[in-house]
C-alpha cells in the first residue's frame, strides 16, 4: 500500500464524518426542540389551561384528547422551530439570505419571535421570555452559520478561479 492510497482513505474518512454531521445535526436540533417543547412549553401551557377560568358558570373541560393534542402540537412546533439554523443554512447556500440581511432585520425578528412566543405560551411575560430566549439564541447561531457559509463559498470561488 502506498502513501497515495493512505491519504485517499483519510480524505474519504474526513468526508464521511462531514456527511454524518450534516445528517445528524438536524436530527439533534429537532430532538432538542422536542425536549424543550415537552419539558418547558408543555408544563407552562398545561398549568395555564388547567387552571384557566372565565367565570364560575363556564366549566373548564380539559380532557385526555386535549392534553395529547397540546403535547403533540407543542413538541412538534418546538422541534421545527429549532431547525432554524438548518433553514438559514440552505437559504444562504442558494443566495436568498445573507448575514447582513439577518443582522439588519434582527429587530423585526425579535418582534416576530416575541409575538410567536406570546401565541404559544400562557399570557404572562415569564413564559413568553422563557420560550423566546432559545429562539433568539438560535437566530444568533443562524447568523453565524450564514457567515460561515458565505466565507466558504468565497473561498471556493477564490480557489476555483
Give CA–CA dist 151/161, Å, rounded.
Answer: 16
Q: What total number of domains does the chain contain?
A: 1
| In a domain? residue 144 | yes
- Note the pLDDT of residue 117: 81
| In a domain? residue 139 | yes
Question: CB atoms < 10 A from the CB of 142, how many?
Answer: 22
Q: Which domain holds residue 153?
A: 24-160
| In a domain? residue 4 | no
Distance spanning both ends of the chain, measured CA to CA: 34
- Note the pLDDT of residue 74: 85
| In a domain? residue 65 | yes
- Note the pLDDT of residue 53: 67
| In a domain? residue 19 | no
Block means of pLDDT (10 residues each) for the chain, 161 residues, are 50 61 84 92 79 69 80 88 91 91 92 84 77 90 92 85 59
| In a domain? residue 9 | no
Sequential DSSP letters for 141-157: HHHHHHHHHHHHHHHHH
- Note the pLDDT of residue 6: 47
| In a domain? residue 16 | no
- Note the pLDDT of residue 34: 94
Task: Look up the pTM and report it.
Answer: 0.75
- Note the pLDDT of residue 130: 83
Residue among 148, 116, 143 at smallest CA distance from 132: 116
The percent helix, strand, coil of the chain (3-state, each to 5) is: 85, 0, 15
- Note the pLDDT of residue 2: 52
Amino acid at each position: 500500500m502506498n502513501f497515495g492510497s493512505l491519504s485517499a482513505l483519510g480524505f474519504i474518512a474526513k468526508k464521511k464524518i462531514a456527511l454524518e454531521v450534516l445528517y445528524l445535526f438536524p436530527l439533534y436540533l429537532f430532538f432538542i426542540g422536542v425536549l424543550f417543547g415537552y419539558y418547558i412549553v408543555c408544563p407552562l401551557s398545561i398549568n395555564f389551561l388547567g387552571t384557566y377560568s372565565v367565570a364560575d358558570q363556564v366549566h373548564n373541560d380539559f380532557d385526555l384528547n386535549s392534553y395529547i393534542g397540546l403535547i403533540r402540537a407543542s413538541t412538534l412546533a418546538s422541534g421545527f422551530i429549532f431547525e432554524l439554523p438548518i433553514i438559514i443554512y440552505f437559504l444562504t447556500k442558494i443566495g436568498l439570505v445573507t448575514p447582513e440581511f439577518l443582522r439588519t432585520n434582527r429587530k423585526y425578528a425579535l418582534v416576530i419571535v416575541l409575538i410567536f412566543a406570546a401565541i404559544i405560551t400562557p399570557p404572562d411575560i415569564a413564559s413568553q421570555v422563557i420560550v423566546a430566549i432559545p429562539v433568539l439564541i438560535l437566530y444568533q447561531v443562524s447568523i453565524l452559520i450564514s457567515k460561515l457559509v458565505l466565507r466558504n463559498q468565497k473561498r471556493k470561488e477564490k480557489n476555483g478561479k
